[in-house]
Amino acid sequence: MLRPFEAPLSPYGPGHRGVDLGGSVDEAVLAAAEGVVVFAGQVVDRCVVSVDHANGLRTTYEPVVPSVTAGQRVAAGAVLGHLRPGHAGCPGAPACLHWGVRRQAEYLDPLVLVSVSRVRLLPWKEDD
């Protein structure tokens, strides 16, 4: 990870509404979970793909040249497109994926969706 999630303190406040993940130019970008593509195209100067999921989440991936279209159903792990260089949040990296997730207007840390919680073992107690 090149840059972590930083929750904004207010809807329009500063923060980093996703994570930046290093990658390779033209590397396949995969859907985090099954869903429906709601947007695949250009936003100002970058290509973006957004997917709505059954659990009320929307994931967004950029800069990605889409290989999917709006309205298309995708499975978890399906190729959404290919990574492009030039994401400003990752200077020096050949390519960098900005991956975001939100529930309605609330931005969430996308790594929480894929991480496994830490296992804690309790000390062993022998029967007396």
Instruction: Examine residue 5 and state whether it is found in any structural domain, yes or no.
Output: no
Give tens-digit pLDDT for 84-119: 998 877 877 889 999 999 999 899 999 987 866 565
pLDDT at 128 over 80: no
Mean pLDDT of 72-91: 91
b/e for 38-57, b at 16 or more Cβ within 10 A? ebbeeeeeebbbbbebeeeb
Residue span of the structural domain in which 48 resides? 19-112
- Kindly state whether residue 4 falls inside one of the protein's structural domains: no
Q: Evaluate whether residue 102 is within a structural domain.
A: yes
User: Could you give the angle at the alpha carbon of 99 between the alpha carbons of 113 and 74, nearest 5°?
Assistant: 75
Q: Give the H/E segment covering residue 114.
A: helix 111-114
Residue 94 lies in a domain: yes
| Cα–Cα distance measured from residue 65 to residue 68, given in angstroms and rounded to the nearest whole number | 9
pTM of the model: 0.86
Average pLDDT, the chain: 89
How many domains, the chain?
Answer: 1
pLDDT over 80 at 125, yes or no: no
pLDDT for 90 equals: 80
Domain at 87, CATH number: 2.70.70.10
Q: How far is CA 57 from CA 16, 19, 109, 122, in A?
A: 18, 16, 12, 35
* 3-state DSSP assignment of residue 111: helix
